[in-house]
């Protein structure tokens, strides 16, 4: 086992996600933005007067641009325009945020856009600052801005122009929704309008063209987030972009093992092709759902409906349901249900009782098996079809508590657009959670629309197949879902002088089922292996568990926990680490192979994804 000191000797390839920032707030004086549209305040749509960059009479050098460029005009939307002391030509309100605005019209002023997007400054700490305190540098910083009408988050960025002609952009983290353009243009309609966006962190070179840009579309954090980019004159009239600061970061790569979705036994329903078929099968019968620790056991009870049925008393509450309507019931005791308790139940006028405050299928009268594959709560289908308690002469849906049971009764409720009544009932034992469905007498009609009866547990699952409710007993269990084991790390490994980083592993298997004990360790390596190699036949028995490190350089130590999440702390300090070091990590969980996992894995080991940690100074 190697010691931690070896980690300070290696500098490997950097990953992708950002955390620690390359942006530094050096202060300065206010740019004194002035509202430009007459409709919006200056923090939203504003520009400054021309500001002297203090580069002397020759100004800022920019090949191909008409000079001298002695002054900068600052825009609220992340844009700078360079002039000889006058107002900018062809500036933009509401942000340019595109190639054509960056090129500008014929005669347009040169422009430097670190992040041209529609911004506003609503935070009390919002500022746009200009700092010329360092000789040969003019820095403009946008502090705690946010994208227009986004509600946040706030972020910061800057553009620094140097008297040498170099330009530096620096950014804190940017939202995943960031859109717009970052780039430089000599203006005056430069180029053809067919130029393509580049990744400014990938060292692009614009050749002889005085224009280079990166376009962002609001689809994930852009590559420039948390970084700094320096645009250097390349000597041929264009720019070379160089990433000059890389943020400390953790990058997750690969996928832990295993992802598994077992067969779905969470639903038992029968579909009937019309009222006559349902009536022939259900009239006079009942079904008892006896609650278990995780679901129900369904038992068909033939010919007992008359004996079990409890007629509504004079004290029963009428729900007053309309057509395609729902109503809530709050029983005196929240009965147990698989996964917890149900303090509120929902009754649908279309024959559904849901153990949740929101009814399954809402007010839908269209019965369709695929709809049962997603659920907001445990649902009992007394007879899912189109009923209408508001039909003239129809009975009503009523409820009351009798002998420790919640009784919900369809008391002669008419099918839609008929005078044909149906009477059926749910009996919920408030102490045990058992539910009995009693079909006394369904409607007599020629309606051929489908009817669904039965039960489904809460949560998404497979589209069920119609099966006879007379099959008994039938066990309802939640679908087994095995999620991959995960590893994450935070905060970013800043070595200035040190940061305590927590590595967190989740999705661990119990060491022995029912023990409540979880066991894992985490290894660090100076050799990440992003491609991974499968450990089936080595440590595991089912393919799909990969090793994402190539050496075991440090063991962070075994952790015994009482939940499927454990963590380790590691101090990243400048004693052992240098800027740019990359350290990879992967967690390993142990379980007793005498108890294989639901997907058949019996090797006794599960592995997480990999995490690559890049160190940097603040």
473-491 pLDDT per residue, tens: 999 888 777 899 999 999 9
Examine the fold and report which residue of 446, 479, 512 is the final residue of a domain before the chain moves on.
Answer: 479
Residue 28: partners with Cβ closer than 8 Å, 6 or more residues away: 129, 130, 131, 132, 133, 139, 141
64 exposure class (CB count in 10 Å sphere: 0-12, 13-18, 19+): middle
Backbone angles phi, psi at 200, to 5 degrees: -65, -15
Output the pLDDT for position 524: 97
Report pTM: 0.57
Output the pLDDT for position 45: 97
* Number of independent structural domains in the chain: 3
Number of H-type helices and E-type strands within the chain: 3, 45
Output the pLDDT for position 164: 96
Domain match, 146 and 172 both: yes
CATH number of the domain enclosing 499: 2.60.40
Does pLDDT of 112 surpass 90? yes
SS3 percent helix, strand, coil of the chain, rounded to 5, is 5, 40, 55
Output the pLDDT for position 285: 97
Residue 38: partners with Cβ closer than 8 Å, 6 or more residues away: none
197-225 pLDDT per residue, tens: 999 999 999 999 999 999 999 988 899 99
Q: Indicate whether 284 belongs to any domain.
A: yes
Total residues found in the chain within this entry: 618
Say whether the peptide bond before residue 72 is cis (omega within 30 degrees of 0): no
> Is the Cβ–Cβ distance between 31 and 53 less than 8 Å?
no
Examine the fold and report which residue of 450, 479, 508 is the final residue of a domain before the chain moves on.
Answer: 479
Q: Indicate whether 458 belongs to any domain.
A: yes
Instruction: For residues 33 and 27, give the distance between their C-alpha atoms in angstroms, rounded to a whole number.
Output: 16
Domain match, 320 and 456 both: yes
Domain match, 514 and 565 both: yes
Domain that includes residue 515, residue range: 251-260+483-614
> Is the Cβ–Cβ distance between 324 and 349 less than 8 Å?
yes
Domain match, 170 and 234 both: yes
Of the two residues 541 and 377, the one the predictor is more confident about is: 541
Q: Indicate whether 182 belongs to any domain.
A: yes
Q: Indicate whether 21 belongs to any domain.
A: no
Q: Indicate whether 400 belongs to any domain.
A: yes
Q: Indicate whether 110 belongs to any domain.
A: yes
In sequence order, what are the beta bridge partners of 476?
A: 296
Q: Indicate whether 94 belongs to any domain.
A: yes
- Stretch (H or E) spanning 99: helix 99-103
540-591 pLDDT per residue, tens: 999 999 999 999 999 999 999 999 999 999 999 999 998 889 999 999 999 9
Domain match, 42 and 165 both: yes
Instruction: For residues 353 and 326, give the distance between their C-alpha atoms in angstroms, rounded to a whole number.
Output: 10
DSSP conformation class of 69: B
Domain match, 591 and 467 both: no
Domain match, 273 and 356 both: yes
> Is the Cβ–Cβ distance between 320 and 396 less than 8 Å?
yes
Q: Indicate whether 13 belongs to any domain.
A: no
Q: Report how far Cα 247 is from the mean position of its chain's Cα atoms.
A: 23
Domain match, 466 and 492 both: no
Q: Where are the alpha helices (DSSP H) in 177-283?
A: 275-282
Domain match, 405 and 538 both: no
Backbone angles phi, psi at 409, to 5 degrees: -125, 130
With bands split at pLDDT 50, 70 and 90, how would you rate the model's confidence at 75? very high
Does pLDDT of 506 surpass 70? yes
- Computed on alpha carbons and rounded to an integer, the radius of gyration of the chain in Å comes to 34
DSSP 3-state of 26? coil
In sequence order, what are the beta bridge partners of 317?
A: 399
SS in 3 state form for 119-178? Answer: EECCCCCCEEEEECCCCCEEEEEEEEEEECCCCCCCEEEEEEEECCCCEEEEECCCCCCC
Domain match, 439 and 465 both: yes
Instruction: For residues 503 and 409, give the distance between their C-alpha atoms in angstroms, rounded to a whole number.
Output: 54
Domain match, 473 and 497 both: no
With bands split at pLDDT 50, 70 and 90, how would you rate the model's confidence at 363? low
Domain match, 81 and 206 both: yes
526 exposure class (CB count in 10 Å sphere: 0-12, 13-18, 19+): buried
Output the pLDDT for position 3: 29
Average pLDDT on 113-141 reads 97
Does pLDDT of 19 surpass 50? no
Examine the fold and report which residue of 424, 449, 479 is the final residue of a domain before the chain moves on.
Answer: 479
Instruction: For residues 439 and 379, give the distance between their C-alpha atoms in angstroms, rounded to a whole number.
Output: 17
Instruction: For residues 285 and 304, give the distance between their C-alpha atoms in angstroms, rounded to a whole number.
Output: 6
């Amino acid at each position: 086992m190697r010691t931690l000191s070896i980690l300070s000797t290696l500098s490997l390839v950097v990953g992708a996600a950002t955390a620690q920032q390359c942006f530094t707030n050096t202060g300065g004086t206010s740019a004194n933005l002035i509202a430009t549209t007459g409709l919006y305040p200056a923090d939203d749509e504003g520009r400054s007067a021309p500001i002297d960059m203090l580069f002397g009479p020759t100004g800022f050098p920019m090949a191909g641009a008409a000079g001298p460029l002695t002054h900068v005009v600052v825009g609220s939307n992340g844009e700078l325009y360079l002039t000889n002391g006058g107002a900018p030509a062809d500036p933009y309100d509401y942000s340019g945020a595109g190639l054509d605005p960056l090129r500008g019209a014929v005669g347009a002023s040169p422009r430097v856009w670190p992040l041209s997007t529609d911004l506003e400054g609503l935070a009390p700490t919002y500022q746009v600052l200009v700092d010329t305190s360092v000789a040969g540098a003019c820095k403009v910083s946008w502090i705690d801005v946010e994208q227009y009408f986004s509600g946040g988050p706030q972020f910061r960025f800057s553009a620094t122009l140097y008297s040498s002609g170099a330009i530096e952009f620096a950014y804190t983290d940017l939202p995943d929704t960031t859109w717009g353009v970052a780039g430089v243009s000599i203006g005056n309609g430069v180029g053809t309008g067919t130029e393509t966006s580049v990744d400014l962190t990938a060292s692009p070179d614009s050749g002889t063209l005085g224009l280079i840009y990166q376009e962002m579309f609001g689809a994930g954090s852009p590559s420039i987030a948390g970084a700094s980019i320096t645009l250097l004159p390349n000597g041929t009239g264009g720019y070379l972009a160089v990433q000059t600061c890389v943020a400390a970061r953790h990058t997750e790569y690969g996928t832990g093992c295993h992802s598994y979705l077992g067969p779905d036994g969470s639903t038992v329903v029968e579909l009937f092709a019309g009222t006559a078929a349902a009536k022939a099968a259900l009239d006079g019968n009942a079904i008892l759902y006896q609650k278990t620790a995780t679901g129900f056991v369904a038992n068909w009870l033939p010919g007992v409906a008359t004996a079990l049925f409890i007629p509504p008393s004079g004290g029963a509450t009428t729900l007053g349901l309309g057509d395609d309507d729902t109503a809530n019931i709050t029983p005196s005791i929240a009965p147990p249900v698989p996964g917890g308790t149900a303090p509120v139940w929902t009754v649908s006028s279309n024959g559904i009782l849901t153990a949740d405050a929101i009814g399954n299928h809402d007010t839908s009268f269209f019965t369709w098996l695929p709809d049962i594959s997603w659920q907001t709560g445990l649902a009992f289908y007394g007879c899912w079809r189109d009923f209408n308690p508001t039909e003239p002469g129809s009975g009503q849906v009523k409820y009351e508590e009798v002998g420790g049971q919640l009784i919900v009764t369809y008391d002669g409720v008419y099918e839609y657009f008929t005078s044909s009544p149906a009477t059926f009932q749910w009996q919920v034992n408030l102490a045990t959670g058992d539910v009995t469905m009693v079909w006394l007498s369904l409607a007599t009609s020629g309606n051929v629309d489908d009817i669904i009866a039965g039960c489904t547990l809460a949560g998404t699952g497979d589209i069920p197949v119609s099966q006879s409710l007379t099959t008994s007993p039938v066990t309802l269990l939640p679908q087994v879902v095995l999620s991959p084991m995960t590893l994450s790390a935070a905060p970013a490994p800043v070595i200035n002088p040190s940061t305590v980083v927590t590595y967190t592993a989740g999705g661990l298997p119990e060491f022995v089922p029912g023990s409540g004990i979880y066991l894992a360790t985490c290894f660090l390596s100076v050799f990440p292996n992003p491609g991974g190699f499968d450990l089936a036949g080595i440590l595991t028995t089912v393919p799909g568990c990969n090793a994402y490190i190539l050496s075991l350089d440090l063991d962070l130590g075994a952790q015994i926990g009482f939940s499927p999440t454990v963590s380790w702390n590691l101090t990243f300090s400048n004693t052992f680490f240098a800027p740019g070091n990359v350290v990879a990590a992967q967690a390993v969980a142990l379980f007793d192979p005498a108890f294989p996992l639901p997907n058949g894995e019996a090797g006794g080991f599960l592995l997480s994804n990999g995490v690559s940690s890049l160190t940097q100074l603040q």
